[in-house]
Structure 1
Amino acid sequence: MTEHGGAIQGAAGTGTIPIPDAVPTHRPAEPAATRPRRDRRLTGRPAVYLLASLIVGLLAASSAPTPLYATYQAHWGFTPITTTVVFGVYAVAVLAALLTLGKLSDHVGRRPVLLVALAVQAVSMVVFATAGDVGALLAARVMQGLATGAALGAIGAAMLDEDRELGTFANALAPGMGTASGALLSALTVRYLPAPTHLIYLALLGVFAVQAIGVALLRETVSRTPGALSTLVPEIRLPRALRGPVLAAAPVLFAAWALAGLYGALGPALVRVLTGSGNVVTGALSLFTLAAAAVVSVAVLRAAPARPVMLTGILALIVGVTVTLIALTTKSPAAFFAGTAISGVGFGSGFQGGIRTVVPQAAAHERSGLLSLLYVVSYLGMGLPAVAAGYLVVHGGGLITTTRQYGLALILLAGLALVGLLRTRTGSIPTLRPDGIE
């Protein structure tokens, strides 16, 4: 799941619209080729791979608590509303960080922001591992969300600084990989290993420590510029040239991440109702299936133009959610997972189509802020509907009825996005491909 991004979370694609390598107020760091030989910093593809692993780690950590919610609920006796609040407060924290810290790396550099974010993320893992009540769980989720939100824009911008084609692809692929791996590994830990509410977080703590060493070895891709404090004031500023593409992509991003929010908050409970099994691994398979299908769709559609990819995402969302709703009516676990897989294609395609529609057109000094804005839309979609669903589960019609209402709302939103996309002039949305051909 974001932050989660997509983090965050489009496939590769470069266009014929040039992205300047330097602007007067935002100067990239000195190229590696002109540096003294003693400066052995990670650059190019190795740097992109490391940065992508940060997104995987951050999103894996964000989905790791999902299989544990039943364990926490049994120990502490809270309701489904609390589950969705714990889930939603993470999204709110990510949003707060995106709005206040999303552009900070454009001024102070990518590396300092990432190192601080990893340090806060590591502290959150310690709080998770030692949590004894819901308050500690909420505190850990807030810290985790702030760290993830601060890092997502800097990571995405740094990847684009190093390699625009590979970076754009990694920006879309990594969030699904993180969400899928975090949910499944956490479930396997709960099922087969001792101290599950401690072990998964301590393992992630070790991962973040290793990644921090890698970040310290990265070359800095931007020079420090004045104005860092002014970026802490929440402001959504969108360059005029990017407004059309962003307006076309936003509904798709919102719908795709709202779907991820549903599975992240209520997926295991739905699987328990349909299968009658309390096996935590089976419960985690819903989120894993969604995210894994998203990863596959990103890889398969990597070379396709952005507009058809977005169209594929919208149609897959509509079909997948429809099949899932039918499965709830017929009580068919097989149909449920089939619908989840199709929906996952919609999640991955919709996210990468949205990213590829917008990001390759941004100038260097706009990248971090623009990616943060796209993640704001995404995490609004993930957090707000999920919390509303938790309230309706308790005070509305229950789990199945609420899921049906949620699904119908998603279909309606995807339908509106489809109408908007079809009404948009083809020329106003770039059909960017990895080879740079429109």
Structure 2
Amino acid sequence: MSVSALSDSDSDRNSDRKNQIAPPSDTNPPGRRRRGELTRPTAFAAIAVVFVLFMAASSAPSPLYVVYQQHWDFSATTLTTVFAVYVLGMIAALLVLGSLSDHLGRRPVLLSAIALEAASMGLFLVADSVSLLLTARLVQGVATGAAMTALGAALADLNPTHAPHRAGVVTGAAPTFGLGLGALGCGFLVEYGPHPTRLVYVLLLGGLVLAAAVVAALPETSLRRPGAARSLQPRLKVAPHLRADLLRLVPILVASWALGGLYLSLGPSVVVGLFGLSSHVVGGLVVTLLTVPACLTAIALRAWPVARTLALGAALLLTGTVVALTGVEEDSLLTAALGTVVAGVGFGASSLASFGTLARMAAPSERGELFSVAFVISYLSFSVPAVVAGIAATHTGLHETSIAYAATVALLAALALLAQWLRSRQTAARATCPQT
């Protein structure tokens, strides 16, 4: 997904300032190595696991939204607002804290993000009202946003030289895998475990304690340097010569991330309200059917040409959304599930290719700003349409809202496919045009 772009851009920045990077810990003389410090290969694997943990924690509340709604009797508008608050917190953290680990080091930022995530788990544990739930999600969003940038940078720093694409694969696959794992795992715990609104957070809190111990043992790959306070100033800017290319990617970014927002916010409610399935496992499975195919696609297509991957992603996103829409209209759970899987493949391909295109078309010095804008577009698409859908569902009903939402996503995917076709024609015309 989009975080793979972080890995690419951070790799470029790291190579540009290699004199500021700490030497690999496993090549340091034994006397200079911290006792208990992990080797670089082990540290790389540990960071990947921590990445998955953060993403699993972020999706764990999804199957619980229905439970909270039943306990506290709030509307679909409130439900999607709780979801959106998390994304807004993440966007704020990405804009403000995105480069902080470049100045303070990876370990301090990651440990702070883990502490903040643990605080959000504590708030979830004691939550007895919507206001506390909103607070917990906001804190969790800030923690996740801060962690994502530092995790992506750490993976790029620790990437083995014999496998140059490994960090990109991990950062592309870990978010969707973690989202699916968190939703499905929480669904099982809610359905079959005790204390449905507490147990999952206790387990995640335990995982975060272990993660803190692991991060404390990581080799530091970025030395302290001045400018930390100045780096907190958020900036959104795109170089003029990149704006047209970015504009062509907007439909696929909005379509894919808006679809993801629908599934993570209202997906379990659709299963209960439209298909009459009360199992929380099925509610979690709805998210998994979208995110796991996206994860596997990011791994499988990592070596494909970006243009072909983008066209495939848009086509499958369109096809899958139409099939899922047909399933909702015909009250066919199997058809809706099949459409979700196809859309998930399109989601993974389009995210991989979109940020691959951004990385390719921008110079290293332009990528940070370009990715920041792309992140904001993606996460706003992830949250704002979901809130609008929640308001619509409260007033017009879940069925009508789902149909309108899916139709809008399908239209955007069709526009993305058209934009990619036009881009391919322009590229071919430039290639055949005689040089002057």
> 1:183-218 deviations in whole A, cap 9, x for unaligned?
111111111110111110010011111111111222
**Equivalent-residue separation in structure 2 for 1:370 and 1:158 (angstroms):** 20
SS of 1:424's partner is helix
Asked if the contact 2:26–2:39 (Cα under 8 Å) also holds between the matched residues in 1, the reply is no
**Equivalent-residue separation in structure 2 for 1:32 and 1:50 (angstroms):** 15
284-293 vs 382-391, which deviates more? Answer: 284-293
Name the aligned partner's letter for residue 31 of structure 1: P
Number of aligned pairs?
420
Larger radius of gyration: 2
Q: What does 1:84-233 align with in structure 2 at a 5 Å threshold?
A: 84-163=80-159, 164-233=164-233
**Residue 21 of structure 2 aligns with which residue?**
28
> 1:131-163 deviations in whole A, cap 9, x for unaligned?
111111011000000001111112112212222
User: What is the CA distance between 1:170 and its match in structure 2?
Assistant: 0.9
**Equivalent-residue separation in structure 2 for 1:229 and 1:367 (angstroms):** 21
**Residue 409 of structure 1 aligns with which residue?**
408
**Residue 53 of structure 2 aligns with which residue?**
57
Asked if the contact 1:81–1:387 (Cα under 8 Å) also holds between the matched residues in 2, the reply is yes
**Residue 331 of structure 1 aligns with which residue?**
331
**Residue 435 of structure 1 aligns with which residue?**
none
User: What is the CA distance between 1:415 and its match in structure 2?
Assistant: 2.1
**Residue 385 of structure 2 aligns with which residue?**
385
- 1:37 equivalent to 2:26? Answer no
**Residue 433 of structure 1 aligns with which residue?**
none
- 1:264 equivalent to 2:259? Answer no
Given the superposition, is the C-alpha separation of residues 10 and 153 from structure 1 closer, same or farther in structure 2, using an over 3 Å criterion? closer
Given the superposition, is the C-alpha separation of residues 248 and 53 from structure 1 closer, same or farther in structure 2, using an over 3 Å criterion? farther
The TM-score with structure 2 as length reference comes to 0.88
**Residue 72 of structure 1 aligns with which residue?**
68
385-394 vs 299-308, which deviates more? Answer: 299-308
User: What is the CA distance between 1:172 and its match in structure 2?
Assistant: 1.0
In structure 2, stretches of 5+ residues that fail to align are 429-436
Q: What does 1:274-353 align with in structure 2 at a 5 Å threshold?
A: 274-353=274-353
SS of 2:235's partner is coil
Given the superposition, is the C-alpha separation of residues 52 and 428 from structure 1 closer, same or farther in structure 2, using an over 3 Å criterion? farther
User: What is the CA distance between 1:365 and its match in structure 2?
Assistant: 7.7
User: What is the CA distance between 1:220 and its match in structure 2?
Assistant: 2.2
Asked if the contact 2:6–2:149 (Cα under 8 Å) also holds between the matched residues in 1, the reply is no
347-356 vs 369-378, which deviates more? Answer: 369-378
Given the superposition, is the C-alpha separation of residues 103 and 11 from structure 1 closer, same or farther in structure 2, using an over 3 Å criterion? closer
User: What is the CA distance between 1:427 and its match in structure 2?
Assistant: 9.9
User: What is the CA distance between 1:426 and its match in structure 2?
Assistant: 8.3
Asked if the contact 1:107–1:225 (Cα under 8 Å) also holds between the matched residues in 2, the reply is yes
User: What is the CA distance between 1:233 and its match in structure 2?
Assistant: 1.7
**Equivalent-residue separation in structure 2 for 1:403 and 1:419 (angstroms):** 24
In structure 1, stretches of 5+ residues that fail to align are 430-438
Bigger proportion of residues as helix: 2
User: What is the CA distance between 1:253 and its match in structure 2?
Assistant: 2.8
Please give the root-mean-square deviation of Cα atoms over the aligned residues, in Å.
2.8
User: What is the CA distance between 1:55 and its match in structure 2?
Assistant: 2.3
User: What is the CA distance between 1:120 and its match in structure 2?
Assistant: 0.1
User: What is the CA distance between 1:251 and its match in structure 2?
Assistant: 3.6
Asked if the contact 2:270–2:398 (Cα under 8 Å) also holds between the matched residues in 1, the reply is yes
> 1:6-33 deviations in whole A, cap 9, x for unaligned?
4x5779999xxx9475435972222346
**Equivalent-residue separation in structure 2 for 1:172 and 1:400 (angstroms):** 33
Name the aligned partner's letter for residue 150 of structure 1: A
**Residue 436 of structure 1 aligns with which residue?**
none
Asked if the contact 1:12–1:169 (Cα under 8 Å) also holds between the matched residues in 2, the reply is no
Asked if the contact 1:156–1:371 (Cα under 8 Å) also holds between the matched residues in 2, the reply is no
User: What is the CA distance between 1:179 and its match in structure 2?
Assistant: 0.7
The TM-score with structure 1 as length reference comes to 0.88
416-425 vs 189-198, which deviates more? Answer: 416-425
**Equivalent-residue separation in structure 1 for 2:137 and 2:81 (angstroms):** 10
SS of 1:196's partner is coil
Percentage of pairs with the same residue: 40
> 1:225-272 deviations in whole A, cap 9, x for unaligned?
222112212212456787676555444233211111001111112112
